[in-house]
Structure 1
């Protein structure tokens, strides 16, 4: 299975965010976060990550998108939600693509966005009515990212494991976005999968990204399930803890994943984003993960 051309066996990747390290100088006055984006890209490459992101340094996962969508003011939906007037993340992805061929484009999912907003207009009676319009707006962003040459599109829907979102509405929304691209689509969902795994396995995506470090019980939950040819993003680094796990600890987790899924079916990544850590901690976590994956790759290739 090689859904991502150019990627090695057991490719390493990230869920997305990286600590914001701002620079100085005149350029920072014009584009204050460009240096942070560049640092995030360079750190990922230096750490040995195969499929990087742009670092998602320009805001939290909600505000980075909702602040650019007509119909949303702050955290309130005040009118019909429409697509942004220009791509939101394409410029940063373009820079990352100039530095390395394998880049993951990332959008925050429409159900997660909808539940982070307050409805202040009668145009939407509930969040389920809002989700399709958010999906349509994000679909244009996804298309723009594909035009920049991304290798994978990731849709972040952490809320889906909480029971707060309507899973059928979310599925249709994911289909709206996925229908706009031909690259593999990855769905990232945090937390315990027990109540949602069967629903998620019916979603129109090629990669399912889950956390197995902080939630090792997900291994048992997904064991024996028919993945339908999908790959698994195997979260093997605890992104919530400031502790930097040794490479041999991460390697042990990867070996468990290989035993369950097979190496051809896995991507190796942290449980979630690393934005809340220091740069040193985030870099060390990624470096140790890349070292562990390299060892596991050698073992699998004999």
Structure 2
């Protein structure tokens, strides 16, 4: 029997301190060569165990084998020069030193497929794997070759499609594309961003998802959120087109955000991963707070399509905080499961 309200996480979990510096984005690895390969696999097993102990239903890799949710994928592509760096404004919010596209981009070999295969061997539970979306990839680079955001996005979409098909063959049940850029570049999202995403999922038989959040709990993002006013209506600009797209699931930031819940009505019919854990605070949500967020969402999404989730990745948090938040997510979901069963 299919489980009611299956729980998952949006993306990253904190890495063990022996693998990388905790609570840090882009933290360098502490191990090298064979030790690093083994260390990453140990971290994958730990992430799996932490999720199982917390009661998570759809298992993620917690992004244990990558330094960053976008750049680690790009590092494996040809045509991008990581030595030749430029400073760009990422998502119109903060400056970052990024690699440069110097030639046609191509994927010479699989990026995460072996990691996914390893995770698949460890569990019978459904597994979800996240990839960066085409628009978020182009927003994390300086393009000195295509000179067109749209052209580069289409090239990345084809590359992502190759990787996604191999991830599916390795036993991944849900492939999620992370597109925080969808919350910023609305005209481009509607003009070609969603179309590029559909190119990335072309031919897949597994479930597909797009994760659109307001970012990690880092200062640049929390400062930006303060400028967004009493209501965050960004989703409204892109939901109608997403609702008619081929994407199966949409992952959103809902808890402690100012997103009006009724916007979810615009994607009626889609499965919705409702972000019920705030990743920008160390405060542990109470089960009742989480149940309340889910109850509000239930007015606009059918129970069989609601997937409790975290708002975003938890890499910048401590492991103890992240684990406690996962347990709270389970406890809050259980309250609602009991209500719905009754």
Give the structure-1-normalised TM-score: 0.90
Q: Does residue 39 of structure 1 match 2:46? A: yes
Residues 79-228 of structure 1 correspond to what in structure 2 (within 5 A)?
79-83=103-107, 85-100=108-123, 101-121=125-145, 124-163=146-185, 166-167=188-189, 168-191=191-214, 192-223=234-265, 225=266, 227=268
Q: Secondary structure at the match of 1:76?
A: strand
Please give the alpha-carbon distance, in whole angstroms, between the structure 2 residues aligned to 1:221 and 1:230.
Answer: 13
C-alpha distance in structure 2 between counterparts of 1:257 and 1:241, whole Å = 22
Aligned partner (choices 235, 244, 262) of residue 275 of structure 2:
235
For residues 55-87 of structure 1, the C-alpha deviation after alignment (integer angstroms, 9 at most, x for no partner) is: 11221111110000111122110110112x222
Whether 2:290 is the aligned partner of 1:250: answer: yes
Number of aligned residue pairs: give it: 292
1:255-274, aligned counterparts within 5 Å?
Answer: 255-274=295-314
* 1:222 to 1:272, Cα distance in 2 relative to 1, 3 A: same
Following TM superposition, by how much is the alpha carbon of 1:170 offset from its aligned partner in structure 2, in angstroms? 1.2
Match of 1:297 in 2: 337
Asked if structure 2 preserves the Cα contact closer than 8 Å seen for 1:53 and 1:104, the reply is: yes
Structure-2 residue corresponding to 1:3: none
The two structures have a TM-score, normalised by structure 2, of 0.80
Aligned to 2:8: 13
Q: Kindly tell me: are residues 149 and 298 of structure 1, through their superposed partners in 2, closer, same or farther at Cα, counting changes over 3 Å? A: same
Structure 2 distance, partners of 1:186, 1:29, is: 30
Counterpart-to-counterpart distance in 2, 1:7 and 1:90: 27
C-alpha separation in 1, matches of 2:285 and 2:200: 35
For residues 187-230 of structure 1, give each alpha carbon's deviation from its aligned partner in whole angstroms, at most 9, with x where no partner exists: 1111431332223223220111111113242313233x352x21
**What stretches of structure 1 of length at least 5 have no aligned partner?**
1-5
Q: Which residue of 2 aligns with 1:52?
A: 59
Aligned CA distance change for structure 1 residues 7 and 120 (closer, same or farther; 3 Å): farther
Q: Which has the higher strand share?
A: 2
Q: CA deviation at 1:30?
A: 4.9
Residue 276 in structure 1 maps to residue 316 in structure 2: yes
Query: SS at the partner of 2:155?
Result: helix
Deviation at 1:162?
0.8
